[in-house]
């Protein structure tokens, strides 16, 4: 999603900003730009498309020591050079970058036009730079404050003033903004990767806070202009993780990292002798768990499907009714909150706006929310009562893989803890711990299907669309598999409960629309066989992904993918692997931009 970078200090601002934008690149964007301040004059460069386009118009040598930069993911206004940020005031003396959405921009724009301002773009953001100009009367900080007060909506902003060369202002409300504190230099970033390798000291702004930077100093203030004391925290991001290594794409690299990332998820958290797990950071007394009568999981996208798998496992092991909510729906549904319900928010980035706002709604209603999050120190991590980090490491590909599997693993371990507190006996607990410990190896083994799946994906690259079908704990795997295909290949794929197929979607079945079945041993096995036969009877193609060795599946399958046998509850961690490969290779066959698919962004920081 949109990214912000800002710099003030002794270095060449242009190269700091360009490096920062490069680091933010993976978040997904459609245009980019920078403004730098040089001898009381602001120079702005903006360009649609990839960063190389911007690089081609930015001067290689430029002595500016202060500047702001932005990668844009369009919300208001099409993808054009004019709509890219920074936006500059009519006088040319104020430049601004903005993340978020200004809900009341139409009325503000009308008002400003009446006051004589002209607009160069169709964005909501541009109103803010004109508002700041309108309120500017000798005090830039007060002008920014007054302008921000007029906004309904969300923002993370960086502002530059031609007449104040040693000043950079940042502010946050709903969109993350982080200050990098250096020695005689200061940074701004929408996340800490914007100044990676340049500063390891950071201040995380909270909503309603503003930061006033000079090269030597920073001052954080709240809406009432009161100084706020902020803790300077150590940033832990390893730049080397950012390298693709021998892999052609981050997506493929991250698929292959899953044995290791799962190892990190379970590392130090299992108690084999007691057949349970120990999850630090929950900030809940174990006795509090006795009062939990219901669990509500809140998430979006892949995290939502991870939540659905978690819900199924929690209900099975702990017998606690667990429901999963689309956060964007929950926020506006006037949710029913009570003391006996535990809420769990799942988000890779911890910056998902829909999820954050739903969590705030729940918290305002007195609900207790835990987080299942990847990004340490992210907004959600700090907002929630407690939580579990999934330790997937930085995920660069827009389409999630290792974060998804680690979310599933964490929720599995959480289910085990709850289950063991209730009716799961020691012996079953020990078995499950053993199974969990074996998962990195099982996933390693599952990764061997890559070559077979590649062939299958190439074979079906001209499909009209693709159906994904499963039941039970693997039903969300079908949903996630279909989402992966949509995201990266732009082919329409959709997941259904195999039982739901004949209630409508079966009409889509024809030789050009293959179906991918995920089938494991257990309650549903015979019914799934029946569903596969239904599809075959209508000349549909069946690609079968299975943990089972039942010979009938080989006979029925047009294409057959075997993954290791594992406990039904943990099976999503291996059945998802061929889905990930399938979406990767079909996208490769179709020549897609795999790591940065069109229209999408890595962390979705607007509602």
Q: Which strands form 542-546's sheet, in the order they lie side by side? A: 492-497, 465-470, 515-519, 542-546, 559-562
Among positions 59, 281, 321, 511, the unique one binding a second copy when judged by CB under 8 A: 321
| Positions in 455-514 near a second copy (CB under 8 A) | 464-465, 471-472, 475, 483, 486-488, 490, 492, 494, 497-500, 502-510, 513
Between 185 and 487, whose beta carbon lies closer to a second copy? 487
When binding is defined by CB under 8 A, the residue of 5, 14, 101, 553 that contacts a second copy is: 101
Q: Which range touches a second copy (CB under 8 A), out of 32-40, 112-120, 218-226, 313-321?
A: 313-321
- Which residue, 14 or 84, has its beta carbon nearer to a second copy? 84
Site string for a second copy, 533-552 (x = CB under 8 A): xx-xxxx------------x
Is 103 among the residues that bind a second copy (CB under 8 A)?
yes
Indicate the SS3 state at residue 216. Answer: coil
Select from 12, 89, 190, 328 the one that contacts a second copy (CB under 8 A): 328
How far apart (Å, rounded) are the C-alpha atoms in residues 71 and 50? 9
**Smallest distance, a second copy to C-beta of residue 180, A:** 28
Three-class DSSP category at 202: strand
Q: How far is the CB of 578 from a second copy (least distance, A)?
A: 19
From the list 181-189, 281-289, 294-302, 443-451, the region that binds a second copy by CB under 8 A is 294-302
CA dist 524 to 131, 211, 428, Å?
A: 61, 57, 22
Minimum Å distance from CB 491 to a second copy? 8
* DSSP-assigned letter for residue 171: E
Distance between CA 295 and CA 344 in Å, rounded?
7
Q: Does 106 bind a second copy (CB under 8 A)?
A: yes
**How far is the CA of 277 from the CAs of 283, 320, 416, 435, in angstroms?**
15, 18, 7, 13
What is 287-324 written as a DSSP string? GGGGG--EEEEEE-HHHHHHHHHHHHHHHHHH---EEE
> Quick check: 567 binds a second copy (CB under 8 A)?
no
d(CA 46, CA 54): 6
**Residue 92 interacts with a second copy (CB under 8 A)?**
no
Contact 134, 147 (CB under 8 A): yes
Between residues 124 and 185, which has the closer beta carbon with respect to a second copy? 124
Whole-number minimum distance, CB 305 to a second copy, in Å?
10
Region binding a second copy by CB under 8 A among candidate stretches 98-106, 187-195, 198-206, 263-271: 98-106
- Cβ-contact 579, 399 below 8 angstroms: no
Among all residues, which ones are annotated catalytic?
A: 2, 602
> 66-72 and 3-8 as β-strands: parallel, antiparallel, unpaired?
antiparallel
Task: Please report, as residue ranges, which positions from 571 to 600 form the binding site for a second copy (by CB under 8 A).
Answer: 597-600
Q: Quick check: 216 binds a second copy (CB under 8 A)?
A: no
Nearest approach in angstroms of CB 175 to a second copy is 14
Q: Residue 197, Cβ neighbours under 10 Å: how many?
A: 10
Nearer to a second copy, 58 or 300 (CB): 300
Q: Are 520 and 535 in contact (CB under 8 A)?
A: no
User: What is the dihedral sign for C-alpha 49, 54, 56, 57?
Assistant: positive
- Count the residues in the chain: 607
- 212 or 299: whose CB is closer to a second copy? 299
- Where is 94: in which H helix or E strand? strand 94-99
Contacts of a second copy in 151-210 (CB under 8 A)? none
Kindly state the smallest distance separating residue 362's Cβ from a second copy, in Å: 14
Q: Which stretch binds a second copy (CB under 8 A): 216-224, 372-380, 429-437, 519-527?
A: 519-527
At 4 the three-state DSSP class reads: strand
Bond before 115 cis per omega within 30 degrees: no
Should residue 280 be labelled a site residue for a second copy when binding is judged by CB under 8 A? no
Near a second copy by CB under 8 A, which window of 249-257, 295-303, 368-376, 450-458?
Answer: 295-303
Tokens 């001209």 identify what position? 462
Instruction: Pick between residue 19 and residue 513 the one whose CB is nearest to a second copy.
Output: 513
Count of CB atoms within 10 A of residue 455's CB? 10
Pick out residues in 357-416 that bind a second copy (CB under 8 A): 399
Of 277 and 353, the one with the shorter C-beta distance to a second copy is: 353
Residues pairing with 314 in the sheet: none
Shortest Å distance, C-beta 495 to a second copy: 10
Q: Does 301 bind a second copy (CB under 8 A)?
A: yes
CA distances from 395 to 237, 254, 309, 348, 455 (A): 12, 7, 21, 8, 26
- In the complex, what is the shortest distance from the CB of residue 391 to a second copy, in angstroms, rounded to a whole number? 22
Q: How far is the CB of 399 from a second copy (least distance, A)?
A: 8
Give the residue with the Cβ less far from a second copy, 238 or 526.
Answer: 526
Residue 84 or 449 with smaller CB distance to a second copy: 84
Q: Name the one range near a second copy by CB under 8 A: 143-151, 171-179, 206-214, 526-534.
A: 526-534
Q: At what angle do helices 402-421 and 426-446 cross, to 10 degrees?
A: 170
The contact pattern for a second copy, residues 51-90, with x = CB under 8 A and - = no contact, is -----------------------xxxxxx-----------
- Residues in contact with a second copy, counted by CB under 8 A, come to a total of 75
423: how many CB neighbours lie within 10 A of its CB? 10
Residue with tokens 């009446």: 114
Pick 386 or 500: Cβ nearer a second copy = 500
Minimum CB separation from a second copy for residue 463, in Å?
A: 11
Residues 419-458 touching a second copy, rule: CB under 8 A, are none
Exposed/middle/buried for residue 229 (C-beta within 10 Å: 0-12, 13-18, 19+): exposed
Residue 163 to residue 165: CA distance in whole angstroms: 6
Figure out which of the listed residues 15, 38, 316, 548 binds a second copy, where binding follows CB under 8 A: 316
**What are residue 450's phi and psi, to 5 degrees?**
-50, -45
């Amino acid at each position: 999603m949109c990214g912000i970078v800002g710099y003030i200090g002794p270095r060449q601002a242009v190269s700091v900003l360009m490096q920062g934008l490069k680091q933010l690149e993976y978040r997904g964007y459609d245009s980019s730009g920078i403004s730098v301040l040089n001898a009381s004059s602001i120079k702005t460069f903006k360009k649609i498309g990839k960063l190389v386009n911007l690089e081609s118009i930015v001067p290689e040598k430029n002595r500016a020591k202060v500047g702001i930069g932005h990668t844009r993911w369009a919300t208001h206004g099409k993808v054009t050079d004019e709509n890219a940020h920074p936006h500059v005031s009519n006088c040319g003396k104020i430049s601004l970058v903005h993340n978020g959405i200004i809900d009341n921009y139409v009325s503000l724009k009308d008002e400003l036009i009446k006051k004589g301002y002209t607009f160069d773009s169709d964005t909501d953001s541009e109103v803010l730079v004109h508002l700041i100009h309108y309120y500017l009367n000798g005090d830039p900080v007060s002008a920014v404050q007054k302008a921000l007060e007029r906004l309904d909506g969300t923002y993370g902003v960086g502002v530059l003033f031609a007449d104040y060369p040693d000043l950079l202002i940042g502010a946050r409300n709903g969109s993350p903004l982080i200050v990098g504190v250096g020695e005689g230099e200061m940074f701004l970033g929408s996340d800490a990767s914007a100044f990676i390798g340049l500063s390891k000291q950071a201040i995380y702004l909270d909503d309603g806070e503003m930061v006033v930077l000079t090269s030597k100093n920073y001052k954080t203030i709240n809406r009432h202009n009161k100084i706020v004391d902020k803790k300077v925290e150590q940033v832990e991001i390893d730049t080397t993780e950012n390298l693709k290594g021998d892999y052609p794409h981050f997506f493929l690299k991250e698929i292959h990292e899953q044995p290791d990332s799962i190892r990190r998820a379970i590392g130090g958290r299992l108690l084999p002798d007691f057949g349970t797990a120990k999850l630090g950071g929950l900030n809940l007394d174990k006795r509090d768990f006795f009062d939990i009568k219901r669990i509500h999981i809140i998430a979006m996208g892949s995290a939502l499907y991870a939540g659905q798998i978690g819900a199924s496992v929690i209900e099975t092991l702990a017998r606690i009714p667990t429901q999963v909510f689309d956060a964007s729906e929950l926020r506006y549904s006037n949710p029913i909150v009570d003391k006996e319900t535990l809420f769990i928010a799942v988000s890779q980035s911890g910056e998902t706006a829909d999820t954050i706002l739903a969590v705030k709604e729940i918290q305002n209603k007195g609900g207790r929310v835990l987080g299942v999050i990847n990004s340490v120190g992210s907004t959600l991590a700090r907002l929630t009562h407690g939580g579990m980090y999934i330790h997937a490491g930085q995920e660069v590909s827009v389409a999630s893989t290792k974060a998804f599997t680690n979310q599933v693993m964490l929720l599995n371990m959480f289910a085990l803890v709850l289950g063991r507190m209730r009716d799961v006996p020691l012996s079953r607990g020990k078995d499950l711990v053993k199974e969990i410990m074996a998962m990195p190896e099982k996933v390693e083994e599952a990764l061997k299907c890559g070559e077979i799946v590649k062939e299958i994906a190439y074979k079906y690259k001209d499909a009209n669309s693709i159906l994904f079908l499963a039941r039970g704990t693997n039903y969300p795997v079908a949903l996630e598999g279909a989402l992966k295909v949509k995201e990266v290949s732009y082919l329409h794929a959709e997941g259904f409960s195999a039982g739901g197929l004949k209630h409508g979607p079966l009409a889509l079945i024809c030789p050009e629309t293959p179906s991918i079945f995920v089938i494991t041993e257990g309650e549903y096995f015979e019914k799934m066989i029946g569903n596969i036969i239904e599809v075959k009877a209508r000349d549909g193609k069946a690609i079968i992904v299975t943990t089972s060795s039942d010979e009938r599946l080989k006979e029925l399958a047009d294409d057959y993918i075997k993954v290791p046998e594992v406990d039904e509850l943990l099976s999503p961690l291996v059945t998802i692997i061929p889905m990930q490969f399938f979406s990767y290779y079909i996208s490769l066959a179709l020549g897609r931009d795999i790591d940065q698919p069109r229209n999408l962004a890595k962390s979705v920081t607007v509602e």
